[in-house]
Amino acid sequence: MQPHERIIYALDVPDGREARRHAARLRGAVGVFKVGLELFVAEGPEIVKAIQDAGGPVFLDLKLHDIPATVEGALAAAAAMHPRFVTVHGDALIGLKGGLDARHPDLDVLAVTALTSLDVKSLSALGLGPALRDPEALAVARAKLARQKGCAGVVCSGREAAAVREVMGKGAVIATPGIRPTWARDDDDQRRTVSPAQAVAAGADYLVVGRPIRAAADPRAAAERIAQEIADAVTDAAAGAWP
């Protein structure tokens, strides 16, 4: 996989016209385009095909969270859109039967472990017990469940990626949001952020990046700069520069 192919660009924009513009501008500079709730609700399933045509593969980030029958039905509907990945909320895994990979062979389902906007205080406010108020503990617990249910991998912060990799094994996919290069502004709602190099060193396969690219004066140049940081980190890891 080429360095730029590891970048999932978050199309966190309000409408399809803006999303298609971003996809066309960044085609070939990133590997996958993330369609999240805001864009999907605004435009419907048609936006997935539009982004695939304009830019490339789609990461359908809906964080499906409902009763098992509804989640299974949504996964079947998602398969018809041919996304590269689709996400299920970690809590929704509880009621699902194992063997997701067998029941949905055309989908790579990723379980969302703990949102990068959460921290210890937030998890405590949600009423989680002491054992799961630590984001890493929660991410590891949900990663274990994801493996049992047949998920292709998980979405987790780079701060938990190393621990999650130990649980999921080498073949699983780890996608890491909350990526903030040292040269990018970070005055937003993310709490558990890491740099591209830190994410790669921790074992992430894909890096979900939005604002650092979107807010740049030259988004394509920003994406290329992140791809170079990924390439350098991969080289360092191969040379044993990372612990």
Which residues are identified as catalytic? 63
pLDDT of residue 236: 77
List pLDDT tens digits, range 125-154.
555 555 455 778 889 999 999 999 999 999
Pairwise CA distance, residues 203 & 187, whole Å: 26
pLDDT of residue 52: 97
pLDDT of residue 77: 96
* DSSP assignment letter at 180: -
Q: Apex CA 142: angle with CA 141 and CA 148, to 5°?
A: 100
pLDDT of residue 131: 47
Looking at 3.40.50.261, 3.90.1530.10, 2.40.160.40, 3.20.20.70, the CATH number of the domain 3-238 comes to 3.20.20.70
Which range, 114-118, 204-208, 238-242, has the best average confidence (pLDDT)?
Answer: 204-208
pLDDT of residue 125: 54
The fraction of the chain above a pLDDT of 70, given in percent, is 86
* DSSP assignment letter at 183: T
Domain ranges of the chain: 3-238
Mean local confidence (pLDDT), 185-198: 73
List pLDDT tens digits, range 11-44.
999 999 999 999 999 999 999 999 999 999 999 9
**pLDDT higher than threshold 70 for residue 210:** yes
Residue pair 137/161 in contact (Cβ under 8 Å)? The answer is no
Between 70 and 91, the higher pLDDT residue: 70
**pLDDT higher than threshold 60 for residue 10:** yes
Q: How far is CA 214 from the centre of its chain?
A: 17
Residue pair 234/203 in contact (Cβ under 8 Å)? The answer is no
pLDDT of residue 192: 65
pLDDT band for 188, please (50, 70, 90 cuts).
low
